[in-house]
């Protein structure tokens, strides 16, 4: 059986086919949740953000013109939901950003044949260091790094998602990478000096 592409599901959803929209949700729920989790660093907040993003997407579907892919459009909605959540939480002086990149850790829970206990500990320490440095970036810098480095969005998709010109995306990404690298180097020097 052939699975329908996003554009067909979007057309059906716009025509009121709830099953078609449910298929889009199933297709993208993990990616939306992952983006929300990486941005918020909190499982409960990520669930709320993802749910709000899909509600917003459903309500905004009539205005989706297809200038970007559905995935890019949905990422943009999710990124906006993340920013809304951050603003809402900062009003309450409660900004949980712990474990911002924990979800995509590749290291197994315990040492394996391929990974000695020492290598495992070193990798975990590096991941924790990167996590702390990532959390110290501004919301915009963290978002662009998450979208590019962890979700693999292209420059065109980033430009569409973030509503800014390609050159601006390149500059923002360059600055965010440079700052993250500087923070990592600085923290490592502090740890090992």
- Mean pLDDT for all residues in the chain: 79
147 pLDDT exceeds 60? Answer: yes
Distance of CA 157 to the CA centre of its chain: 13
Whether 1 and 86 map to the same domain: the answer is yes
Residue 192: its pLDDT value, please?
Answer: 67
Exposed / middle / buried, residue 80 (Cβ in 10 Å: 0-12, 13-18, 19+): middle
Looking at the fold, whether 8 and 63 belong to one and the same domain comes out as yes
Radius of gyration in angstroms for the set of CA atoms belonging to the chain, rounded to a whole number = 19
The 3 state secondary structure assigned to 90-157 is HHCCCCCCCCCCHHHCCCCCCCCCCCCHHHHHHHHHHHHHHHHHHHCCCHHHHHHHHHHHHCCCCHHH
Residue at which a domain ends, from 40, 73, 98: 98
- 150 and 62 in a common domain: no
State the pLDDT at residue 115: 66
Q: Tokens at residue 147, please?
A: 């979208």
Within this chain, do residues 85 and 136 fall inside the same structural domain, yes or no? no
- Name the nearest CA neighbour of 96 among 35, 136, 45: 45
At residue 112, the pLDDT reads 53
- 110 and 187 housed in the same domain: yes
CATH number of the CATH domain containing 2 = 1.10.1740.10
Judge contact between 131 and 100, C-beta under 8 A.
yes
Question: Is pLDDT above 90 for 81?
Answer: no
**Pair (152, 71) in one structural domain:** no
pLDDT the model gives residue 113: 59
CATH classification at residue 143: 1.10.10.10
| CA separation for the pair 21, 26 (Å, rounded) | 9
Weakest mean pLDDT among 16-25, 112-121, 154-163, 167-176: 112-121
Q: What is the pLDDT of residues 11-34, one digit of tens each?
A: 999 999 999 999 999 999 999 998
Residues 136, 171: one domain? yes
Q: pLDDT band at 9, cuts 50/70/90?
A: very high
Tokens representing 88 are 């809402």
9 and 51 housed in the same domain: yes
Say if residue 23 is in the same domain as residue 116.
no
Q: What is the reported pTM?
A: 0.60
Q: What is d(CA 39, CA 142) in angstroms, rounded to the nearest whole number?
A: 7
Do 89 and 136 share a structural domain? no
Do residues 84 and 9 both lie within one domain? yes
Domain count, the chain: 2
If pLDDT is split at 50, 70 and 90, which confidence band does 93 have?
very low
Q: What is the pLDDT of residue 103?
A: 32
Q: Which domain holds residue 82?
A: 1-98
- Position 28 scores a pLDDT of 94
- CB-hemisphere CA count at 13 Å for 112? 6
Length of the chain counted residue by residue: 193
């Amino acid at each position: 059986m052939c699975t329908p592409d996003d554009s067909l599901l979007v057309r059906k959803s716009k025509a009121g086919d709830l099953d078609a929209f449910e298929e889009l949700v199933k297709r993208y729920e993990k990616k939306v949740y992952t983006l929300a989790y990486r941005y918020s660093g909190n499982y409960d907040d990520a669930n709320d953000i993802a749910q709000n993003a899909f509600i917003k997407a459903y309500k905004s579907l009539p205005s989706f013109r297809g200038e970007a892919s559905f995935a890019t459009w949905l990422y943009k909605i999710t990124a906006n939901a993340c920013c809304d959540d951050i603003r809402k939480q900062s009003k309450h002086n409660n900004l949980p950003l712990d474990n911002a990149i924990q979800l995509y850790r590749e290291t197994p829970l315990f040492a394996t044949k391929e990974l000695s206990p020492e290598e495992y500990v070193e990798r975990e320490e590096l991941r924790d260091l990167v996590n702390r440095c990532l959390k110290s970036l501004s919301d915009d810098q963290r978002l662009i790094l998450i979208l590019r480095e962890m979700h693999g969005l292209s420059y065109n998709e980033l430009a569409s998602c973030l509503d800014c010109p390609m050159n601006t995306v390149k500059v923002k990404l360059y600055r965010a990478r440079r700052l993250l690298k500087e923070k990592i180097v600085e923290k490592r020097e502090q740890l090992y000096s």
